[in-house]
Amino acid sequence: MSEGFSGCISAGSVNTTHPEQGLTRQVLAFNPGMMLVRHYMQPGWHGARHSHPHEQMVYVVRGHIHFICGTDTFDAHAGDSFIVPGGMEHEASALAESEVLDFFVPCREDYAH
């Protein structure tokens, strides 16, 4: 296998965690330079305001989330995407049952284990 190639990650082999009430996380493919994570959010879930050094690209697969990034506030619906710069404080909440794909650069070691 080529260096950095993780192979195919089968949906049936993905570990599912529940880091908070109302939030389900699945870490998908990753290597040291990047990581793909699926989050499922129940309506009413509200994540704590936080920051991390990783660049984060967000794609809303389905649902409706409210997002605060720095001083910007907006709603995102299925098909919407946005980028959170590394080090920027942000928080999200689910206004409906939602599924989001998060792409982090580099890999989030705290999610990898």
Q: What structural domains does the chain harbor?
A: 29-112 (2.60.120.10)
Token pair, residue 99, equals 């599924």
pLDDT tier at 1 (50, 70, 90 boundaries)?
very low
Nearest alpha-carbon partner for 55 in 23, 29, 88? 88
- Residue 34: strand pairing partners: 31
pTM: 0.90
Q: What pLDDT does 42 receive? A: 98
User: Is residue 4 scored above 80 in pLDDT?
Assistant: no
- Residue 93: strand pairing partners: 46, 66
Q: Is the previous residue joined to 106 through a cis bond, with omega within 30 degrees of 0?
A: yes
The per-residue pLDDT for range 91-101, each reduced to its tens digit, is 999 999 999 99
User: Is residue 19 scored above 80 in pLDDT?
Assistant: yes
Cα dihedral 69→24→110→106 (10° resolution): -60
Residue 91's CB: how many other CB atoms inside 10 A?
15
Asked if 105 contacts 55 with a C-beta cutoff of 8 angstroms, the reply is yes
